[in-house]
Chain A
Amino acid sequence: MDGFVSEALKIVFAYYLNLAWRRCRQGWPMVLLLTLTMAIGIASCMTALTIFNALSGEPLPGISPHLQVVTMDAREAGDKDQSSYDVPQSWLGLADATALVDAGRARQQVALAQAYVLLGNPDGKQSEQTLGLLAHGPVVPMFGVPMRYGRPWTASEQAGHAPVVVIDTGLARKLFGTENAVGRSVAMGNGSFRVVGISEPWKPRTQFLDVKRNQGNVLGQPEQFFVPAQAALAAGVGPLTAGACGKDEAVVSFQSAEVSQCRWLEVWAAVDGPAELENHRRFVAGYADAQHDSGRFMHPPQAALYGVREWMVANRVVPDDVALNLGLAGAFLLLCLVNVAGLLAARFLRRQADVAIRRALGASRRHVFAQHLVETGLLGLAGGVLALPLTWLGLWVVRKQPVAYADAAHFSVGAFAMLLLLSLLVGLLVGVLPAWRVCRQPLAMQIKLA
């Protein structure tokens, strides 16, 4: 019985499709206009949505939701007398950063700073200016950097300021001509660092580490080496910029290892669950307050933890344009919807004569409604198909733009599925009102009008 009903439905559905097709062929300029309007609306929305999605997801799926960055007003007497601490600051001096990390209160924690350093092989024949992280703590396991060969550095190596380094496969190939360069030496600053591990190429999807030194970057940059911070300093290798330094220091100095008077490290902690988060918050606040009470920190420290998303918003990593454009595109799609709904209503109501005949011959209101919905659904799908090249065009245009997120504008299979679903939804949504309007007309009135 069920099989019979579904078979009948199929026939009816096929009949409606056929009807819709015939009707679309009549007055095709109008149909073209409707489809084009829907396509433009859908395509602009998809373009903006693709970029928004690429930039608003978690930078490290599965890992970044647990990360928290430590902020506090750690200015000491020797620091520049900036009059206010109006935005939260994450940079800490080496002593504070290592103290917070070594206390080991969270599941994992690391202090880090962005570096941009010349790395070479021992004979000096190959060298490469490379982005990487100076870190104190288990940076590689904590951020889930995948290892190809070897291992990250150990706690005892870090404690002993051992000159060890983890480099990625790309850098290993460039410096040594082979990916498995474990055990080789890398020249960095005035030191020689032993390669203990080779990582896979790694970068966060969006920039969230040391955002101050990465200003202007929206997309994550590949970090090609990881080195213990204190060992690096000992070899004369410093962060990209020295950070916030003492009163008599330069405003900015690049690649300097003379950072003893500076706040330059950012402390990240991996924390699971609200209870642990609250514990960690209390621990950090306690540490900061103790420094203030002892007279080291001049101001009330206002210590706070920020999650990755919050921190990115606070530092405006993703430009406003992205959300503004999405809003604009959404409003435009809405306008297109109302527009198409109106034109469809006019189109349907013009054909009341046909509807009246069908109704007189026994079609129920439900059938008339379903028939019109099939027609608009078909129009919606046609709009979606037309929107596909338009979306591709839109993303191509964005890629040509001088914006930091241009590389995020790539069409994905997921986006394509979303596009088709969106267009079907748009088609049905747009059709509901006109279809309902057509079948609501009392039968006698319809026949009279006809």
Chain B
Amino acid sequence: MRHLIQPLLRHRLMPILVLLQVALACAIACNALFLLQQRLVPILAPDGIGQPEKLVMAWNIASRGEPWSSVRLREVQRALRSIPGVESVALAGSLPMEPNAQMNGEVFAEGSRTSADAAVYIGNHLRRTLDLKLVAGRDFDDAEDAIDYAGVGINDSGSTIITHALADRLFPDGDALGKVIRIGDEPDAARRTVVGVVEHLMRNKLEQDNRANIDYSMLFPGVPGQWPMPAFAVRAQPVADAGTVRAAVEATIKRELGNEMIEGFQPSYQMYADMRADMLARSTAAVWLLSGVSLVVLIVALVGIMGLTGYWVQQRTRQIGIRRALGARRVDILRSVQVENLLVVGAGIVLGMALAWAINLWLMRHYELSRLPLAYLPLGAVLMLVLGQLAVLLPARRAAAVPPVVATRAA
């Protein structure tokens, strides 16, 4: 070991520069990969919507002055339902992937302090229209869907369907069916009894950091009152052409509500897939940016280590020749260069991980970012070690190829 460390200490410049590069690259890569993973969450997470190609969404429909009454909106819903090729229609306060109207809040398991930040979708026939897969319990019945709330409905008690993830979070002992959820922290907050559990349903408030709660959603039956931005989800029959249905939905809503909408707001009539793509466009762009940055960082580090090690080997051609003359085999030289690189890169990694951790702490203090999971540190370490060994491969082989006769040449 000593014969490896001492030259490093004697000629400090090259090892220090390699070490610094590794540390910087490691710190940047750890944090960039972490940000990347955060941005990938909403793209990769299941949204729960079944047969998305048959789902038409009408939203950004805003009333001028007083909100439309539920009676009026149910009329529109019936008109939409009567469009040929429509299987079901939901009338809701907000819909998945809708950016403008969102309902979120802290909900509690009744009788405990276990809470979760969940998205709430209030509307009728939502489960069926969004084609959410029911894994336990039942769908809302007609009586529940007939409820017209005086207010938005968030402060009313009743029944609810929640996602599997939210059920697991609030009721870790399993079997959420029949349990009660308190909507808010106040003692007199509304209570909702769980009647069904669906497999997945993505929330529509996609924050930067949303790994844990992205699948925490609740459905309330009925139609919200006093709500100025109602939205409709329309499911076309499997045999129907969704494009035709979309056009008919647009025409129907324009005919029914067009004169009462506020001026200057364009309602959107979109296929669900397009809405999803719009909502995730920023995340997708960030993913491209961050993966590009990570890749370039790794390439720069690779080239840097390779160049420096190449020089470092060339510098010591004579010493290597002497070692070869004294009986060291080619493989010994190869190994010693590789181990040397391992030592320097290892030291860089230790420094880099400390740096990555410090940067993350600072970012956490100033931005909405969660703690860097410890798993990222060994991941970054392995990445840098592999990178270091890759970079040293060529110079090490060149070192191993030095013939012993070099030792005999005069200095």
Interchain Cβ contacts under 8 Å between A and B, 13 examples? A118-B264, A250-B67, A254-B265, A256-B65, A320-B369, A323-B367, A324-B363, A325-B289, A331-B359, A335-B297, A342-B304, A345-B17, A349-B311
Residues on B close to A: CB < 8 A?
13-14, 17-18, 20-21, 24-25, 27-28, 31-32, 35, 62-67, 152, 184-186, 208, 226-229, 262-265, 278, 281-282, 285-286, 289, 293, 296-297, 300-301, 303-304, 307-308, 310-311, 314-315, 359, 363, 366-369, 411
CB pair A83–B185 under 8 Å, yes or no, is yes
Residues on A with beta carbons closer than 8 Å to the beta carbon of B63: 253-254
Residues on A with beta carbons closer than 8 Å to the beta carbon of B184: 83
Q: Which 3 A-B pairs have the closest CB atoms?
A: A346-B311, A129-B264, A342-B17
Residues on B with beta carbons closer than 8 Å to the beta carbon of A331: 24, 27-28, 359
Distance of B66 from chain A, by nearest CB (Å)? 7
A84 and B297 alpha carbons, distance in the complex (Å): 45
Task: A254-B65, A324-B363 are known; give 18 further A-B pairs, CB within 8 A.
Answer: A30-B307, A118-B263, A250-B228, A254-B265, A256-B65, A320-B208, A328-B28, A335-B24, A336-B300, A338-B17, A338-B24, A342-B17, A343-B303, A343-B307, A345-B14, A402-B278, A402-B285, A437-B13
Please encode chain A, from 343 to 380, with 1 for each CB lying within 8 Å of some chain B CB and 0 for all others: 10110011000000000000000000000000000000
A448 proximal to B (CB < 8 A): yes
Distance of A257 from chain B, by nearest CB (Å)? 8
CB pair B281–A402 under 8 Å, yes or no, is yes
CB pair A350–B24 under 8 Å, yes or no, is no
A341 proximal to B (CB < 8 A): yes
Beta-carbon nearest neighbor of A316 in chain B: B368
A352 and B278 alpha carbons, distance in the complex (Å): 59
Distance of B274 from chain A, by nearest CB (Å)? 13
A262 and B13 alpha carbons, distance in the complex (Å): 68
Distance of A262 from chain B, by nearest CB (Å)? 13
A254 and B366 alpha carbons, distance in the complex (Å): 34
How many chain A residues touch the partner (CB < 8 A)?
A: 46
Residues on A with beta carbons closer than 8 Å to the beta carbon of B315: 349
Residues on B with beta carbons closer than 8 Å to the beta carbon of A116: 264
Please encode chain A, from 49 to 84, with 1 for each CB lying within 8 Å of some chain B CB and 0 for all others: 000000000000000000000000000000001010
CB pair B21–A335 under 8 Å, yes or no, is yes
A45 proximal to B (CB < 8 A): no
Residues on A with beta carbons closer than 8 Å to the beta carbon of B367: 320, 323-324
A283 and B92 alpha carbons, distance in the complex (Å): 46
Q: Report whether over half of chain B's contact residues are helix, strand or loop; otherwise say mixed.
A: helix
A393 proximal to B (CB < 8 A): no
Beta-carbon nearest neighbor of A324 in chain B: B367
CB pair A250–B226 under 8 Å, yes or no, is yes
Residues on A with beta carbons closer than 8 Å to the beta carbon of B14: 342, 345-346
Given contacts A83-B186, A338-B304, A402-B282, contact A252 B17 (CB under 8 A): no
Which residues of chain A from 206 to 246 have any CB-CB distance to chain B below 8 Å in the complex? none
Given contacts A250-B66, A338-B17, A341-B17, contact A37 B300 (CB under 8 A): yes
A332 proximal to B (CB < 8 A): yes
Given contacts A254-B62, A255-B262, contact A403 B301 (CB under 8 A): no
Beta-carbon nearest neighbor of B310 in chain A: A346
Which residues of chain A from 127 to 184 have any CB-CB distance to chain B below 8 Å in the complex? 129
Distance of A392 from chain B, by nearest CB (Å)? 17
* Centre residue among A253, A336, A349, A403 by max chain B CB count within 10 A: A253
Distance of A245 from chain B, by nearest CB (Å)? 10
Please encode chain A, from 36 to 49, with 1 for each CB lying within 8 Å of some chain B CB and 0 for all others: 01001000100000
Residues on B with beta carbons closer than 8 Å to the beta carbon of A252: 228-229
A8 and B199 alpha carbons, distance in the complex (Å): 81
Per a CB cutoff under 8 Å, which of B28, B67, B301 touches A339? Answer: B301
A99 proximal to B (CB < 8 A): no
Distance of A394 from chain B, by nearest CB (Å)? 10
A321 and B208 alpha carbons, distance in the complex (Å): 9
Residues on B with beta carbons closer than 8 Å to the beta carbon of A118: 263-264
Residues on A with beta carbons closer than 8 Å to the beta carbon of B31: 328
Residues on A with beta carbons closer than 8 Å to the beta carbon of B289: 325
Residues on B with beta carbons closer than 8 Å to the beta carbon of A255: 64-65, 262
A421 proximal to B (CB < 8 A): no
A448 and B264 alpha carbons, distance in the complex (Å): 82
Beta-carbon nearest neighbor of A257 in chain B: B65
A334 proximal to B (CB < 8 A): yes
Residues on B with beta carbons closer than 8 Å to the beta carbon of A324: 35, 363, 367
